[in-house]
Amino acid sequence: MATTRGADEGPLEKALSRVGPAVSLLSWGKSVVAAVSVVVLTLSVLPVASTDSVRLAAVSGPVFDDFNGPPGALPDPLLWTVDPANVSGFASGEVANFSSSRDNVHLDGAGHLVIQALATPTGYTTGRLQTLGKIDMLFGRVEARMKLPTGYALWPTFVLVGTNLPVVGWPQAGELDIAEMINDSSTFHVTLHAPRSGVTPSCPNCMTAGANYALPGYLPAPMDLSQDFHVYWASWQFDGIQVGIDDMTLATYTPAQLVGQADWVFNSPMYAYLQLAVGSVATGPPNSSTPLPAKMLVDWFRYTPN
């Protein structure tokens, strides 16, 4: 059974979408039981800086998506947007085109989301999903159980990004890489990306050299993460984030680690995206050794507010 946001929008929801500067957020709530899904949203009050008017919109209550559905179906549109047009505002020199085709993004009928990279006669295609405006999160635990593909030029990622990205750009919005594997599991890492203090990027939606300050975290010992499903998670509080796999904590981030280097921008709502890139400035271009087709499998996604 999947827990999703409701499809209808009443007066409260519409009012919340237009809320002006204030010091609290409301996430609306209702419960509906249907044959295939349970809709559960809770009422909560969340502290937010009163000057951060960009972020003052309704924030999601608890969300759980188990990706149940018929084979070939798209994931729940109340939660996920298939993002072929780079709405996320990112660019890392990816070679494959992000596509909305069901060949690249679909449910497998066995309870998994499939993000599939393909070689075609004209190039490469792959998939990306994001939750901006659908699951906007502020503090809590964000996690997904996934099986990641491995191979040269493959780059599966599970990332949180500030919901103000369309306004302020990257890296000003902040980015938390919960899971990122470049080429193979020996290069798996987690990373906090923050804007350098006093630096304005020349290209707001590009990875501008010098504007981003990164704090990585690594596995304590080599693991082949492609052989099985693992739970990739972030535990997020005011002025603190922990990131890990299964029962391992790989990194802890606080504002103190950024003093004199970058600005802490992680006390405001963020959204998630899942993607499988093929070829980039990080991986190198795909070649005959790149194992295509490649699949990134997601068993479930969960957001549990604090």
Whichever domain contains 230, its CATH number is: 2.60.120.200
Indicate whether 173 belongs to any domain.
yes
pLDDT tens for each residue of 264-286: 999 999 999 999 999 888 888 99
Indicate whether 292 belongs to any domain.
yes
Indicate whether 50 belongs to any domain.
no
What is the domain extent for residue 134? 70-304
Q: Residue 60: pLDDT band by 50, 70, 90 thresholds?
A: confident
The CA-CA-CA angle for residues 174, 305, 115, to 5°, reads 65
Instruction: Compute and round to an integer the Cα radius of gyration of the chain.
Output: 19
Indicate whether 196 belongs to any domain.
yes
The pTM score is 0.80
Indicate whether 78 belongs to any domain.
yes
Mean pLDDT of the chain: 80
Please tell me what DSSP assigns to residue 101. Answer: -
Indicate whether 121 belongs to any domain.
yes
Indicate whether 226 belongs to any domain.
yes
Q: Among 48-52, 179-183, 261-265, whose mean pLDDT is lowest? A: 48-52
Indicate whether 271 belongs to any domain.
yes
For the chain, how many structural domains are there in total?
1
At 204 the pLDDT is 54
Give the list of residues 6+ apart from residue 213 with CB closer than 8 angstroms, or none.
Answer: 171, 193, 194, 195, 196, 258, 261, 262
CA pseudo-torsion sign 40, 87, 157, 148: positive
